[in-house]
Structure 1
């Protein structure tokens, strides 16, 4: 059988569907609709005369034929991609696309300060950011890299530090403190209104403090739960309760007096932002350039 240009294009779609086991996620990676991918796959299966995927409403799995095709063409297509990426060193202006999955706090603290300059320097590079505190598999979901706090980076990834350590503090509005009083020790929080934090894996975060015996975690009463710092900040500014977060995100409101720190002697520090990516893939030029700029400008310290 002679391989046509249509086959080569459809093989690219096939590989993306096989990576994600999802037409929707594969479409997000490639920038095409799920229906276009489905049409392409049906055409490829028709030309090859075999079914490559078993498809139901809940799952997309490779057939034996699909698994064999995946093993046969993955390496050649990876080699083609690496060869095309290597051409960036001959271009006067690098091209490419960087797709990042980042913890929400990294957006305003790490990326927003450098991206205007980055787009001026590299106008042909596209940056696609998905900000979410929910942990995802960056490989399976088609991201080039992820940015998380150092302690939450998956162990099977290459990681680079992008910021200094962060300080975790408790803050509240003057109106809240005037109404409910100021906690003097972390245990006082049991009698306060605390804005709870829902983690990316749906667990409720236990606020961490430094005591005489070292760090410890404390469950706090929470009538309101948030999974994003910006929402929690707005609630704290309106007097809804005490918030727990990164001091640098609270800094403008601390300077203006809209928020006040409490329990400062018990505040802890933790690993800052790290970028991580698969060890088995060549680092794309566009991603390397973004990492270099963040490390050079150090918007969150380093």
Structure 2
């Protein structure tokens, strides 16, 4: 079948001209209202009548009236066209100022330590924007699922995304509770983990994550075993605090428990550094003011903020390692 590479003439072509003529009962006054010539209005109406297949106006040298078909067309076309104009105004408003619903896909672990203070200050600064947070472990297609942006660890962001850093790079650390280490020797080498109960993390793909280490500049990964598998970092953190086993966690997530003495760190020399947490979105041309305002708000946060220190420049997510 031969493909048609032309765009079909729109069903709305000529409708605005028709409505203006119907309102004023005059082609000349309709032309003046729309800022075109009377002949252009007449041509638009003729094309509309041809497409519909019925005469919409009765024209004489002295007046313009509606046919029965014109009356029926007017009764349904006018409210529909007014609704379309109103919809255009709503969309135009969203394109001109920060307003509307901002949907963010985020991992549950970042909500209390990173997102809560950020969202609180953003909502105060932009009261016309509603923020919806969908917290989960899945790496989703932002466009297909209707999200404006997402927040993820840098290595899990696709290369075609624009990414803005929310945190500086941080370490993945191995921690355990004092109770867990009672009667056990602490691991000093990564091979010692074979004799320990290790909490494992299942990725959204279904695969069990290996533990990553830096051995004298060489990146290594180790398969560990243990009594518990979790799908999010908060669950692993809680299990480690309860003494179920060792956990490898992003350092910011374990920071409070370490400070409180609920956890202790081991294998410090082998802790790898990962890029950090990023806000990411599909492309610069598709940014509405609500998202631009959120990006600017992220960048404007104080550099000394210990929970979410932000750098001033955005970068292509593809510049780093991607998982």
Aligned to 1:211: 215
Choose which of 83, 89, 96 in structure 1 pairs with 2:92: 83
Distance in 2, Cα, partners of 1:263 & 1:157? 34
Partner of 2:147: 143
Say if 1:161 and 1:186 are closer, same or farther in 2 by CA, change over 3 A: same
Total equivalences in the alignment: 224
Task: Choose from 256, 263, 269 the match for 2:273.
Answer: 269
SS of residue in 2 equivalent to 1:118: helix
User: What is the CA distance between 1:103 and its match in structure 2?
Assistant: 2.3
> What SS does the aligned partner of 2:293 have?
helix
Match of 1:300 in 2: 308
Larger CA Rg, structure 1 vs 2: 2
Query: Aligned equivalents of 1:267 and 1:280: distance in 2?
Result: 35
C-alpha RMSD of the superposition: 2.3
Indicate which of 239, 243, 247 corresponds to 1:243: 247
- Aligned twin of 1:199: 203
Matched-pair contact (CA < 8 Å) for 2:96–2:289: no
CA contact (8 A) 1:110 1:294 kept: no
> Hey, what does 1:172 align to over in structure 2?
176
Q: Distance in 2 between matches of 1:221 and 1:122?
A: 47
Deviation at 1:213, TM superposition (A): 5.1
**d(CA) in 1 for partners of 2:285, 2:299:** 21
Partners of 1:278 and 1:258 in 2: how far apart?
Answer: 40
Alpha-carbon contact 2:189-2:267 (below 8 Å) kept: yes
Pick from 274, 284, 288 the counterpart of residue 284 of structure 1: 288
- Which runs of no fewer than 5 residues in structure 2 stay unpaired? 1-9, 13-83, 311-323
Within the candidate set 231, 237, 249, 2:235 is matched to 231
8 Å Cα contact 1:196/1:225 also seen in 2: yes
Q: 2:262 aligns with which of 246, 258, 261?
A: 258
Change (3 A) 1:149 1:120: same
Measure the CA separation in 1 of the matches of 2:254 and 2:148: 30
Q: Is the 8 A contact 1:172 1:261 kept in 2?
A: yes
Preserved contact between residue 227 and residue 244 of structure 2 (Cα < 8 Å): no
**TM-score, with structure 1 as normaliser:** 0.69
**Offset at residue 286 of structure 1 (A):** 1.6
Residues 218-251 of structure 1, C-alpha deviations (whole Å, 9 max, x = no match): 1101321011111111111110000111111111
Query: 1:81-136 deviations in whole A, cap 9, x for unaligned?
Result: 76332331xxxxx4211101112332223211222111211222111011112111
What SS does the aligned partner of 1:230 have?
Answer: helix
* Unaligned segments of structure 1, at least 5 residues: 4-75, 89-93
| Mapped partners of 1:110, 1:284: distance in 2 | 23
TM-score in terms of structure 2 length: 0.65
Task: Identify which of 123, 126, 134 aligns with 1:122.
Answer: 126
